[in-house]
Every structure is written in C-alpha cells, then in structure tokens.
Amino acid sequence: MIDIVKGHLIDIVKGHLIDILKGHLIDIVKGHLIDIVKGHLTDIVKGRLFDIVKGRLIDIVKGRLFDIVKGRLIDIVKGRLIDILKGHLIDIVKGRLINIVKGRLIDIVKGRLIDIVKGRLFDIVKGRLIDIVKGCLIDILKGHLIDILKGHLIDIVKGHLIDIVQGHLNDILKGHLIDIVKGHLIDILKGHLIDIVKGRLINIVKGRLIDIVKGRLIDIVKGRLIDIVKGHFIDILKGHLIDIVKGHLIDIVQGHLIDILKGHLIDIVKGHLIDIVKGHLIDILKGHVIDIVKGHLIDILKGHLIDIAVLSQRTVCISNILRTIPHVKLRNCMLIVRL
C-alpha cells in the first residue's frame, strides 16, 4: 500500500513501513527503525541504536556505548570507560585508571599508582614508593628509605643508616657508628671507640685506651699506663713504675727502686741499699754497711768495724804533722790515711 501524500510505502506481508520523505524504514515485526539519512538503526525490542556513520552502538537497556572507530566502550551503569586502542580502563565510580599496555593502575581516590611491570607502588597520600623488584620502600614524609634485600634503613632527616644484617647504626650528623653485634660505638668526630662488651674507651686522637673492667688507662702518646686496680703507674718513656699500694718507685733507666713506706732506696747498678729511716747505706758489691747515725762502717768481707768519727780525727792530726815536713804533698797524706 502506497500513500503518495505522506510518502509512505507499507508492506503488510513483511510488516514494513517505508517513509520516503524522512528516509525511514520501520520493521514492525523485528521492532527496527532504520534512518537512512543519519545512518541509524534502532532496535526498539533490545533497546539498541546503531550509528553506522560514527561507528557507534548504544545499548540503552545495559547503559553502554560502544565506539568502534575510537575503540571505546562506555558503561554508564558501572561508570566505566574501556579504551581498547590505548589499553585503558577507567572506573569512574572507584576512581581508577588501568593502563593494560604499560601495566599501570592509578587509584585517584586512594592516591596510588601501581606499576605492575616495574613492580612499584606509589602512594601519594602517604608519600610512599614501594619497589617490590628492588625490595625498597621510600617514605618521603618521614624521610625514610628501607632496603629489605640489604636490610638497610636510611633516615635522611636524622642522618641515620641502620644495617639490620650487620647490626650497625650510622649517625652521619653526629659522626657515630654503632655496632650492636660487637657492642661498639665509634665517634669519628672525637676519634673515640667505645667497646661496651669489653668495657673499653679508645681515644685515637689523644692515643688513649681506658679499660673500665681492668681499671687501666693507657696513654700511648705519653707512654703511660695507669692500673687503678693494682695501683700501678708506668711511664715507659722515663722507665718508671710507681706502685702506690706498696709505695714503690722503680726507675728502670737509673736502676733504682724506692720504697717510700720503708724508706729504702735500692741502686741496682751500684749495688747500694739506702735505709733512710735507720740511716744505713749497704754496698752489696763491696760488702760494706755504713751506719750514718752512729758513724760506723762495717766491712763484712774483712770483718772490720770502722768508727768514722774517730778515723776523721786521726786523719786531721796526721795531716797537720805532714804539713811541717818539707816537700810532702797532700796525696801522700791520703795514702798514709788509707794505710
């Protein structure tokens, strides 16, 4: 049936209606509306619209739009946009952008970027970067860098480097190195090494070693050793050893030993022993004992006892007699005295 006025052609058998003026073809059986001018095909039953010119498919029921030319699928219900050409998936509801080609996921809501290819996660909110491949975590807000593979923690703010494997803590600002395993603290600025386990403090600058456990102070520069427990003071440069407990002073260079408590002085080189308290001088090599208080000289080898006071009087008398004799020198007098 043809309606010339309206420009309609109706095919009752096939259930078609053609609107020549508008360029429409209506398929009543299938529920299709074809717009030849715009290049549209509307499927009323399924709720779809095909835009052949622009290459689009609109699914009103499911709320989708498929753009064949741009390679996009827009899902209005789920709030998603899939860009097949770029390999993107945008989830507007969750605030995510997935880049399948580069293997990235951007989470705008949580402020995260996940790079699956490089194995990284960047958290903008917390200011963190996690590198799974390298085993690192960077905390920008705290100024931390954690290296899980090496067991390191770097604190940029405090200037710390913590080595968990070795048990070390480096304080760059203070110049400290702490070895927890060995119990050491090294102060690079002051030149100190503190050994907590052995109870020692080494001052490299001054050349000193303090041993708290043994109670010792060693001064390498001055060549001294102080032993508080034993009460010793050793001066290596001078060759002295002072024993405060026993009251001894040993002079290795001179070969002397001074006993302050007993009042003794021992001269090992000359073989002398001086007893200041008793006023004695013992000459071990000659076998003499001189009693300064009594004025006695004992010759142990010859078995003699000499009274120095009486001997000095006799020496004076003999000297006076010899002076009256002409051409007699003083050395003759000394020879006579010795006889």
Largest pairwise CA distance in the chain: 191
Helices (H), the chain: 308-323, 330-338
- Confirm whether 284 is domain-assigned: no
- Which pLDDT belongs to residue 3? 67
- Which pLDDT belongs to residue 324? 44
- Which pLDDT belongs to residue 123? 93
- Confirm whether 17 is domain-assigned: yes
Q: Round to the nearest angstrom and report the end-to-end CA distance of the chain.
A: 181
- Confirm whether 14 is domain-assigned: yes
- Which pLDDT belongs to residue 315? 45
- Which pLDDT belongs to residue 20? 74
Give the domain extent around 13: 1-69
- Which pLDDT belongs to residue 137? 93
- Which pLDDT belongs to residue 4? 67
- Confirm whether 18 is domain-assigned: yes
**Tally of domains in the chain:** 1
For 338, the 3-state DSSP assignment is helix
**339 residues of the chain, pLDDT tens digit each:** 666 666 777 777 777 777 777 777 777 778 878 888 888 888 888 888 888 888 888 888 888 889 888 888 989 888 889 898 888 899 988 888 999 888 899 998 999 999 989 999 999 899 999 999 999 999 999 999 999 898 999 998 989 899 988 888 888 888 888 898 888 899 988 888 999 899 999 998 888 999 989 998 999 889 889 998 888 899 988 888 888 888 888 888 888 888 888 888 888 888 888 888 888 888 888 888 888 888 888 888 887 777 876 665 544 443 454 454 444 333 333 333 332
Q: How far apart are CA 53 and CA 203, in angstroms?
A: 88
- Confirm whether 117 is domain-assigned: no
> Angle formed by the axes of helices 308-323 and 330-338, to 10°?
140
- Confirm whether 182 is domain-assigned: no
Q: How far apart are CA 250 and CA 233, in angstroms?
A: 10
Rg (CA), the chain: 56
- Confirm whether 301 is domain-assigned: no
Of 275, 251, 280, the residue nearest 261 (C-alpha): 275
- 99-120 burial: b if 16+ Cβ within 10 Å, else e: beeeebbbbeeeebbbbeeeeb
- Which pLDDT belongs to residue 125? 92
- Confirm whether 148 is domain-assigned: no
What does pTM read for this prediction? Answer: 0.49
